[in-house]
Structure 1
Amino acid sequence: MASNKNNPNRNTRATRRAAEEAAAKAAAEQAARERKQQTIIGAVVVAIVVALVAVIGVTIWRSVSQSIKDANTTAEDAYAQVQAVKTKPTRADDKGGVLMSKDGYGKKVDNVPTIGVYMDFMCPGCGNLNRSLDATLIKMMNAGQINLDLHFLSFMDGQSTDEYSSRAAGAALYIADHDDDPNHLLDFVTNLYKEDFQPAEGSDYKSVSDDKLKEQAVKAGVSEDVASKAFGREYQDWLNAINDYVPRRTELLNTSGSYKGAFTTPTVVINGTRWDMNQLATTKQTIPDGFLESIGLDSANVGVAGKLPSIGADKEPISLMTGE
């Protein structure tokens, strides 16, 4: 048999195979490097998107209600259950709202928008909304430019170990009933949503005592006597019924975005129409700027008595997309 040394054709084939194997190995290594690079790029892109989403804030961080117990229960049935509760907060209306204006509780100022805010004290998005917008809302209310209609919910009890949402909401309702100054309630709400006080949800939750909540009420101007009695949980049955009723109100459901058709918190309602906060991300506006545009008021006129929003008491919010 002839040796490879003496067979040029066989030597050529061996050389070609070696070259092909080397090329295939090099190609595989290059592909692996490219896949790794694409993975790194993908991770960076995801991180950038997450960062951008975090800036949007309120349109992303929301608590989706999980409180509906029976899918066959109608809004009318749930409403009837709210009315049937024996012990109700006296300053909450039949739909659960606590109305206030510069003139006090239960008194509407004429010819100005009524702003409804639906919140849970554990909801991260509610905290973001409060820290972004409530100073503006309070200035406007005290100047007679808007009425406020606050709805305290407690969907997120399961995200704490001690029913934080219900304790905080119950305290807010008690303060509304037993302290005649709406600003004390508003300041209490502000205190609970401060970044250094609002607790984290879920596994990161750290227990908050009633005494800690009481401290925030006293800081807001609530008397020691009222603050001490605000945690008796006498409105718990009513809160449970409200939690079941509110998500069934079709006028409160999201009209756009990934949660379209569902109720989420925070929800803002302007003259009875749900404000589509998803438009903020599309138009790249801050929450205060978008809100003021939606009610037709220049930022320079916030808190200026007599300078009223253009939509008045009856018109729907102005669309941030179309300006109409």
Structure 2
Amino acid sequence: MSKSKQHEPRSDKPQAGGPQTPRAASASRREALRAQQAAEAQRARTRRIITAIAVVLAVVIVAVVVVVLVQNRQRQQEEQGLRAQQGQVTPPSANDAGNGLVFNNSTQNTGKPSVEVYLDFQCPGCAQASALIDPLLEQLADSGEIQLTYHMLHGLDRGFPGNHSYRAALAATCADVQGAFPVFSKAIFAAQPATEGDGWTDEQLRNTLAVQTGLSGEQLTAFQTCFDSRSTSDFVDAMQDLKPDYVTYTPFFAVNGNQWQPSNDALASADALLAALQAVA
């Protein structure tokens, strides 16, 4: 006869691994629901934060654009007022089209390749070109091999406050009135700030760089009067407004109206550069 296990305690609890009781299953469902609700709440908070950040960024961008537009508008009004007070001057090195400065009267180089250089004084690449390419081009112009014309644009002012490109072009054209354009242009590029858009102060343009260029006495006074009264502003605007549509960036080089991109081989010497220009012309 088998013995009953009367002395072992009786237990109504489910054994481990066994099926859950209805009460335990209900508790599990509540925990899962709470976890799902917490996750959805977290996602909702994240969406609200992202939306708030996007709104703030949009407001900041709009504010910056408005500030730039207002400053540019104020600059235009100031320039118009100065023009009304002072007569306009055409720089002596102006080309026939009235939209560029001819280097050292190289218009006399009849029948030679016509090289057009479009630059913006705030453009870092233009500063590099001023140091590496322009000296060779000017050497060829001096020797009668090419006709060289510089066009100083100020399109970058649309992206930065302070109309630095415009004022630098004014200073350069006023320097041409005093016969100092090539040297003054190089001085502006040499003083170009490391950060694009920082630009130059009026004191730098009308005094510091002018003195470095060699202007003094009556010449310096005449240059400063030209700059302060914006006497070449119509010519500066014409350089920007009359640029060809195919000029979409700076520095931009054209030979007889054809786009040209300098290569390392072409920059090896003046002779190599002349050969490259003649091939494009």
Fold match by TM threshold 0.5: yes
**Would the alpha carbon gap of residues 270 and 235 (structure 1) be closer, same or farther in structure 2, given more than 3 Å must change?**
same
Residue 89 of structure 1 is matched in structure 2 by: 90
> What per-residue deviation string (whole Å, max 9, x for no partner) do you get for residues 141-185 of structure 1?
333332221111111124443211111101111222x224xxx21
Deviation at 1:115, TM superposition (A): 1.8
> What per-residue deviation string (whole Å, max 9, x for no partner) do you get for residues 64-102 of structure 1?
xxxxxxxxxxxxxxxxxxxxxx9462443325021233x
Which residue identity lines up with residue 210 of structure 1 in the other structure? Answer: D
Residue 255 of structure 2 is matched in structure 1 by: 270
Pairing 1:229–2:219 present: no
- Bigger helix fraction: 2
| Poorly superposed stretches of 4+, deviation over 6 Å | none
Residue from 274, 278, 281 that aligns with 1:295 = 274
Structure 1: 5+ residue stretches without partners: 1-85, 254-262, 298-308, 318-324
Matches within 5 A, 1:47-196: 87=88, 89-91=90-92, 92=94, 93-101=96-104, 105=105, 107-176=107-176, 178-180=177-179, 184-194=180-190
Distance between the aligned counterparts of 1:241 and 1:187, measured in 2? 22
Kept after mapping to 2: 8 A contact 1:89/1:174: no
Residue from 210, 215, 218 that aligns with 2:202 = 210
Distance between the aligned counterparts of 2:100 and 2:121, measured in 1? 16
Which residue identity lines up with residue 163 of structure 2 in the other structure? Answer: E
Residue 240 of structure 2 is matched in structure 1 by: 243
Report percent identity of matched pairs: 24
Deviates more, 1:150-159 or 1:207-216: 207-216
TM-score by length of 1: 0.50
**Would the alpha carbon gap of residues 160 and 147 (structure 1) be closer, same or farther in structure 2, given more than 3 Å must change?**
same
Distance between the aligned counterparts of 1:100 and 1:242, measured in 2? 15
Distance between the aligned counterparts of 1:90 and 1:224, measured in 2? 16
Deviation at 1:134, TM superposition (A): 1.8
Kept after mapping to 2: 8 A contact 1:188/1:216: yes
**Would the alpha carbon gap of residues 99 and 207 (structure 1) be closer, same or farther in structure 2, given more than 3 Å must change?**
closer
SS, match of residue 144 in structure 1: coil
Kept after mapping to 1: 8 A contact 2:120/2:126: yes
**Would the alpha carbon gap of residues 220 and 142 (structure 1) be closer, same or farther in structure 2, given more than 3 Å must change?**
farther
Q: Decide which structure has the larger Cα Rg and report it.
A: 2
TM-score by length of 2: 0.57
**Number of residue pairs aligned between Structure 1 and Structure 2:** 188
